[in-house]
Amino acid sequence: MSSVAHLPQDPLPIGPRPAPRALGGHLTAWLRANLFASIPSGIMTLLLLFVLGKASIALWQWGIANAVWIVSGSDSSACRALRGVGACWAVVPEKYRFILFGTYPFDEQWRPALAVVIFIALFAVSSRRSFWRKELFLLWAAALIAIGCLMWGGFLGLTFVTQDRWGGLPVTLILATFGLAFGFPLGILVALGRRSKLPAIRSLCVLYVELIRGVPLISLLFMASVMFPLFMPDGVNIDKLLRAQIAFILYAGAYLAEVVRGGLQAVPRGQYEAADALGLSYWEKNALIVLPQAIRHVIPPLVNTFIAFFKDTSLVLIIGIFDLLTTAKTAIVDPAWQSFSVEVYVFVGVIYFVFCFAMSRYSRGLEAQRGTN
Amino acid sequence: MVAIAVAIVAWLWSNAVHNLSVRRISTGFAFLGREAGMPIADSWIDYSPKNTYLRAFIVGIVNTLRVAVIGIVLATVIGTLVGIARLSSNWLLARLAAVYVEVLRDLPLLLQLLFWYVLMQGLPAARQAWKPVEGVFLSNRGLILPSVPLDAANWWTILALVAGLVVLHLVRRRLIAQQMLDGKARPAWPYALGLVIALPALVSWLLGASWSITLPELRGFNFVGGLTLAPEYFALLIALVTYTSAFIAEIVRSGIQAVPRGQSDAAKALGLKRSFVLQQIVLPQALRVIIPPMTSQYLNLTKNSSLAVAVGYQDIVSIANTTLNQTGQAIESIALIMMVFLTISLGISLFMNWYNARIALVER
């Protein structure tokens, strides 16, 4: 007893031992641990370095050393002389206005450019957790209306531009954003409908989701472009872009419904029961208690669905709507620049990549945040 | 609510009937019996433009399945390799695999497909074909590979090989069941030798099958002999395989990471061999995590094969689209596309669900 009393009350913890001293310098230690840990690993490293070196040299020579960056007066002869030896990046400054904005009137192209800026600002604002409030819905509505006004015009001295002249990046962003803005509420309703107690509603929702998810998007787009007009009364002629937009909304709704349903399943039963006990109605219960929790659970898969959806908008190429990929493909129909499609595809590839990469980084960041919470 | 839905459908239907009668398009599938008059360049079954639309549709289904099945196999192999490479202790290999996945996942598949197709078209003409190995030619006519002409005897040998594999599988299950009883390991390799090597060899020898390889040759402006993968098919296959393999790599990686480290550490501590640890401890547990998302990737690849229409490979969607333009039978053509894909999707789902149920953890 007394011996215990002599011990210090709060013994100091023993500090961590210093890390074992690496053999050689810092760099050699790292190389040894990560690249030459064993003989097979070392052979693999050397092999990869060899292949990587060869590929880099070839790419450097084609893409930078021998490339043509600029030509005067849209004359592609300098490029054609170097065909197969060097890249012709001159095609990008030559065609970028058409690739980005399609056949939108040339002098008015600041309007789609501004629309793109609004889109990007909208995405940036929506990605901040501190902005996840009710006001965000109003902001979305305001931004989408502003974009519509900018693109159509027809007031305040802005000339009216019909949808068939829209093209390029704004069309891609419009298809994706409006598809999500309307597809997301639809998806939520369908997800709730799949868990409904009414068999008619439940089976209707199951049928819708499984039918849309079971067929390729192209067949839906074909349906929108050739079958839809057959179902309309005489004289009603809905614009092609709008028809494709409806197809996209239906498509997004089905996929998002499945993601939201996953989130609904993760909400504990007690939450539903507690809401019922408080006497909330069905809609109050879902809007105030269940959905906020359910959606918070599935934000990373939701962002992944957004990425897939953004990429899928490029499929409108097949039904002849001028999105970013279609304008790129059309830009190189010009005989003078016909043989430089690779350069143009690299250019639009970079644009798509920037958007998708930003979203996938964001999704990963959210997942990491959730992991630490 | 149901009444509203019924009313909307009835209204749409009456509009459709009216529009079809104005455009003089008769509904129904009678057009399938008419002469198609549509050329199909790349077909595995006999077809000429004089055949019926039905025949053309069957060619399209075969073409879709041809790209989907081979694509699924290749994407699984490459995706698994890349997924394992991402977990490699070799820093360079892991980084390269990560770049592969990130770049391919973040570009639209259609863009990648057009890119590969343009590269194919930019290849030298048949006369200056690029020849990496003897008998393999890469030119703007596509990829030409050496082939083995298959006669009846060859097919019987292949059948014997498949039968041998099935029997071997049953024998292995039996051996493992016996091992469960008395704990004694029984080697399976003598059976493997007999069933997979000796049996087909015997059949081949008895029937006198010839396994001579035909090398393609350049005659005039084109190749004779060998197996030709048309540029459209080849571009579609590369695009589908690389794109899907990036997703599969992530699935495989997360599946392997989902197996707790303690499992393989414990197995090693028991003195089990490395290959045994991977085969019997880690993989069975990883597969349970991997199979469900893998199923949806297989379904995606199959559905994405419909992008063929963008490069002019005549799959079911492309043929239905041509039919639609020639006959105006929009509803029927699109219904056929949907039916085909729903059937394929259902088939893959059923198979994968069966497989998943088989490997799922049996909980008491």
Q: Which comes out higher in pLDDT, residue B160 or A4?
A: B160
B171 found inside a domain: no
Residue B95 near chain A (CB below 8 Å): no
Q: Report CB contact under 8 Å: A218, B307.
A: yes
DSSP H helical ranges for B220-278: 231-258, 261-269, 274-276
CA–CA dist B289, B308 (Å, integer): 31
**Range from A60-69, A350-359, B128-137 that averages highest in pLDDT:** A350-359
CA–CA dist B231, B119 (Å, integer): 10
B38-71 residues labelled b (16+ CB within 10 A) or e (exposed): bebebbeeebeeebebebbbbbbbebbbbbbeeb
A39-55 residues labelled b (16+ CB within 10 A) or e (exposed): eebeebbeebeeeeeee
Q: Are B82 and B101 in contact (CB under 8 A)?
A: yes
Q: Report CB contact under 8 Å: B341, A216.
A: yes
CA–CA dist B88, B305 (Å, integer): 31
Site from B19, B90, B341, B342 to mutate, A interface, most A CB atoms within 10 angstroms: B90
- Does the pLDDT at position A1 exceed 60? no
**pLDDT number for residue A251:** 93
A267-299 residues labelled b (16+ CB within 10 A) or e (exposed): beeeebeebeeeebeeeebbeebbbeebbebbb
Q: Which comes out higher in pLDDT, residue A242 or B132?
A: A242
Q: In whole angstroms, what separates CA B265 from the centre of its chain?
A: 36
Q: Which residue has the tokens 């709507």?
A: A321
What is the rounded average pLDDT of the residues A313-321? 88
Q: Which comes out higher in pLDDT, residue B341 or B352?
A: B341
Residue B346 near chain A (CB below 8 Å): yes
- Does the pLDDT at position B229 exceed 60? yes
Read off the pTM.
0.84
Q: Which residue of A has its CA nearest to B321?
A: A222
What is the rounded average pLDDT of the residues A217-225? 88
Q: Report CB contact under 8 Å: A329, B114.
A: yes
Give B-chain residues touching A233 at CB under 8 angstroms: 15, 18
CA–CA dist B43, B232 (Å, integer): 12
**Tens of pLDDT, residues A270-300:** 888 999 999 988 888 888 888 888 888 888 8
Give B-chain residues touching A204 at CB under 8 angstroms: 5
B277 found inside a domain: yes
Strands (E), B69-172: 137-139, 142-145
- CA-based nearest distance B300→chain A, Å: 8
Give B-chain residues touching A49 at CB under 8 angstroms: 92
Mean pLDDT of chain B: 84
Site from A204, A218, A225, A350 to mutate, B interface, most B CB atoms within 10 angstroms: A218
Print the domain residue range for B248.
17-123+229-359
Phi-psi category of residue B186: left, alpha or beta, with phi > 0 → left and psi -120 to 50 → alpha: beta
- CA-based nearest distance A70→chain B, Å: 23
- CA-based nearest distance A37→chain B, Å: 8
B167 found inside a domain: no
- Does the pLDDT at position B75 exceed 90? yes
Q: In whole angstroms, what separates CA A93 from the centre of its chain?
A: 26
Residue B202 near chain A (CB below 8 Å): no
Band of the pLDDT at B355, cuts 50, 70, 90? confident
**Tens of pLDDT, residues B89-109:** 888 999 999 999 999 999 999
CATH superfamily of the A91-372 domain: MetI-like (1.10.3720.10)
- Domain of residue B354, CATH code: 1.10.3720.10
Written as six digits, the tokens of B305 are 């094969």
Q: Are A316 and A323 in contact (CB under 8 A)?
A: yes
CA–CA dist A107, A159 (Å, integer): 11
Written as six digits, the tokens of A105 are 């009137």
Site from B26, B87, B111, B304 to mutate, A interface, most A CB atoms within 10 angstroms: B111
Residue A48 near chain B (CB below 8 Å): yes
Residue A221 near chain B (CB below 8 Å): no
SS (H, E, C) chain A: CHHHHHCCCCCCCCCCCCCCCCCCCHHHHHHHHHCCCCHHHHHHHHHHHHHHHHHHHHHHHHHHHCCECCCCCCCCHHHHHCCCCCCECCHHHHHHHHHHHCCCCHHHCHHHHHHHHHHHHHHHHHHCHHHCCCHHHHHHHHHHHHHHHHHHCCCCCCCCCCHHHCCEHHHHHHHHHHHHHHHHHHHHHHHHHHCCCCHHHHHHHHHHHHHHHHCCHHHHHHHHHHHHHHHCCCCCCCCHHHHHHHHHHHHHHHHHHHHHHHHHHHCCHHHHHHHHHCCCCHHHHHHHHHHHHHHHHCHHHHHHHHHHHHHHHHHHHHHCCCEHHHHHHHHCCCHHHHHHHHHHHHHHHHHHHHHHHHHHHHHHHHHHHHHHC
Which residue in the set A215, A325, A352 is minimally distant from B338, CB to CB?
A215
Interface of A with B in 13-42 (CB under 8 A): 34-35, 37, 41
- CA-based nearest distance B73→chain A, Å: 20
Band of the pLDDT at A24, cuts 50, 70, 90? low
Residues B8, B13, B15, B17, Cα dihedral to 10°: -170
B144 found inside a domain: no
Q: Report CB contact under 8 Å: B89, A311.
A: no
Among the listed ranges B20-29, B50-59, B119-128, which one has the minimum average pLDDT value? B20-29
**Tens of pLDDT, residues A110-144:** 888 888 898 888 888 888 877 777 788 888 888 88
CA–CA dist A339, A60 (Å, integer): 20
Written as six digits, the tokens of A40 are 């097979």
CB pairs < 8 Å spanning A and B: 140
**Range from A201-210, B185-194, B213-222 that averages highest in pLDDT:** A201-210
Expressed in percent and rounded to 5, the helix, strand and coil fractions of chain B are 70, 5, 25
Helix (H, G, I), strand (E, B) or coil at B229: strand
**Range from A163-167, A168-172, B203-207 that averages highest in pLDDT:** A168-172
Which residue in the set A226, A230, A325 is minimally distant from B108, CB to CB?
A325
Q: Are A180 and A309 in contact (CB under 8 A)?
A: yes
**Quick one: DSSP state of residue B307?**
G
Helix (H, G, I), strand (E, B) or coil at B138: strand
User: Which residues is B223 bridged to in the sheet?
Assistant: B218
Residue B3 near chain A (CB below 8 Å): no
Length of chain B counted residue by residue: 364
Band of the pLDDT at A90, cuts 50, 70, 90? confident
Residue B359 near chain A (CB below 8 Å): no
CA–CA dist A278, A290 (Å, integer): 14
User: Helices B330-359 and A199-214 sit at what angle, rounded to 10 degrees?
Assistant: 100
Q: Report CB contact under 8 Å: A311, B109.
A: yes
Q: Are A301 and A259 in contact (CB under 8 A)?
A: yes
Tally of CB atoms within 10 A around A342: 19
Q: Report CB contact under 8 Å: B96, A52.
A: yes
What is the rounded average pLDDT of the residues B176-190? 83
Rg (CA), chain A: 28
Residue A226 near chain B (CB below 8 Å): yes
CA–CA dist B235, B305 (Å, integer): 11
CA–CA dist A62, A246 (Å, integer): 43
Q: Are B311 and B114 in contact (CB under 8 A)?
A: yes
B202 found inside a domain: no
A21-A23-A25 Cα angle (round to 5): 95
Mean pLDDT of chain A: 84
B336-B338-B340 Cα angle (round to 5): 70
Band of the pLDDT at A336, cuts 50, 70, 90? confident
Q: Report CB contact under 8 Å: A219, B306.
A: yes
Q: Report CB contact under 8 Å: A201, B1.
A: yes
Which residue in the set B15, B106, B321 is minimally distant from A232, CB to CB?
B15
**Tens of pLDDT, residues B260-311:** 889 889 988 998 887 788 778 888 888 888 888 888 899 899 999 999 888 8
- Does the pLDDT at position B155 exceed 80? yes
Length of chain A counted residue by residue: 373
B239 φ/ψ angles, rounded to the nearest 5 degrees:
-60, -45
What is the rounded average pLDDT of the residues A240-251? 90
Band of the pLDDT at A68, cuts 50, 70, 90? confident
CA–CA dist A117, B216 (Å, integer): 55
Q: Exposed/middle/buried for B305, CB within 10 Å: 0-12, 13-18, 19+? A: buried
CA–CA dist A159, A247 (Å, integer): 29
Q: Are A69 and A89 in contact (CB under 8 A)?
A: yes
What is the rounded average pLDDT of the residues B340-352? 85
Q: Which residue has the tokens 């040759």?
A: B217
What is the rounded average pLDDT of the residues B40-60? 80
B189 found inside a domain: no
CA–CA dist B319, A127 (Å, integer): 43
**pLDDT number for residue A6:** 60
Among the listed ranges A315-324, B23-32, B166-175, which one has the minimum average pLDDT value? B23-32
Q: Which residue has the tokens 């019926």?
A: B52
Q: Report CB contact under 8 Å: B304, A216.
A: yes
Phi-psi category of residue A186: left, alpha or beta, with phi > 0 → left and psi -120 to 50 → alpha: alpha
Q: Which residues contact residue A23 at a Cβ distance below 8 angstroms, ignoring those fewer than 6 apart? A: A29, A32
Q: Are A146 and A156 in contact (CB under 8 A)?
A: no
**Quick one: DSSP state of residue B119?**
H
Site from A51, A202, A219, A318 to mutate, B interface, most B CB atoms within 10 angstroms: A219
Q: Which comes out higher in pLDDT, residue B208 or A181?
A: A181
Q: Are B67 and B237 in contact (CB under 8 A)?
A: yes
